Amino acid sequence: MIVEKVKGLKYHKKQDVAIVGAGMTIFRRRLNETGKELSYYAVKQALEEAGLDISDIDMVVMGSAPDAFDGVHMKGEYLLDGAGGSNKPYMRVFVGGGTGVFAPIAGYWHVASGLADVCLVVTEEKMSSSHPHPQSAFKYIWDPILDRPLKPNLIWIFALEMRRYMHVHNIKHEDIALVSVKNKANALDHPAAQLAAKITVEDVLNSEPMALPVRRLDVSPPSDGASALIMVAPHIARQLTDEPVWVAGVGWSLDTTWWTNRDLYFPRYVAEAAKMAYKMAHITDPRKEIDVAEPYDPFDYKELHHMEGLGLAKKGEAPILTREGVTARDGDLPVCPSGGLLGVGNPIAATMGVKVAEIYWQLAYRAGKRQVPKEVTTGVAQAWGDLMQVGTVMVLSNKR
């Protein structure tokens, strides 16, 4: 690692970080397998893709959201064996739904700082263990004095946010439904997809009401699954591949838990995280400089909301770009070519596989049938979580 002297003091210079392998399990209800087993499957695939063995791993970062999903307290320690972390430096990070991008950000810290040359990042979620429904695990995230007596749930809150977004920009539900139609169709080419389908706008608009305007086909399904990434220092990357994918920028931001105190039409926490990541990646015009994007899409309107937070569209413009085909896999700005959470599934933290891993596969030209047909150099992945307050962003590039 290069040492730099500043005013007589020695400093280790930050080293670049590359991704050289990724893996993910099939996303769906998997009652017959434990979280340890799901983690093992994802790790095995990532190691094979990178051409490494578990003995080559210096340290392991685990990302997993609430313990309540798996029904195991101190879930990070529980998942250690399956994630290959035994007798290695190991840590768990979690910021709710933002974990799928925050975990690889933590992996980046470890390699960039020189603490590790090879870091394995594993994300896991097993939501089928939460009864009667994973939604019940969210009962205890609310303020016990002001919020909880009202007995809220997240679908209601997101219905308020969707309604506000539609009202401010005069957006029709038909234009939002196009996101669900697009992503579920893209997922038909993903081997791990849970709810890939050919559907129409009318199918979305006529699906079961959840909390209007949110209907069932506006929402991604809860799921079980795991994902893994191998992040390495430059001298290791050069030994493993001629075409590594580099981490160009990382950013994260949290807004207050008092969600009632802000205007829900725009995700400022995503914009702040993107600002941090773009500055590091030297990106000044994301609409022109980003070739492919995987914004977090647990609801169809959230893809549009997050595109605007990421600066990929002006405020209120994302539905227009979707309607005009710009965000299609063969469009000028492919968005969620994986099929996203709406089509592949939403095992909260494990969505790293359809966000950061998908951008890695796209930039490495390893996405198979999902590969976007144009030349790609730079991509962005983003996740979001908690009470509409967490934004996590990672920019990747196949140019150093």
pLDDT in tens, 103-121: 999 999 999 999 999 999 9
pLDDT in tens, 219-275: 999 999 999 999 999 999 999 999 899 999 999 999 988 888 889 999 999 999 999
pLDDT in tens, 44-59: 999 999 999 999 999 9
CB atoms within 10 A of CB 280: 14
Letter for the amino acid at 150?
A: L
**pLDDT band of 147, cuts 50, 70, 90:** confident
pLDDT in tens, 340-359: 999 999 999 999 999 999 99
Angstrom distance (rounded) from CA 76 to CA 62: 7
Angstrom distance (rounded) from CA 239 to CA 223: 36
Cβ distance 386 to 154 under 8 Å?
no
**pLDDT band of 2, cuts 50, 70, 90:** low
According to the model, what pLDDT value does residue 124 have?
Answer: 97
Specify the pTM: 0.96
Angstrom distance (rounded) from CA 174 to CA 179: 9
The third-level CATH classification (topology) of the domain covering 17-132+223-236 is: Peroxisomal Thiolase; Chain A, domain 1 (3.40.47)
**Domain boundaries of the chain, sorted by first residue:** 17-132+223-236
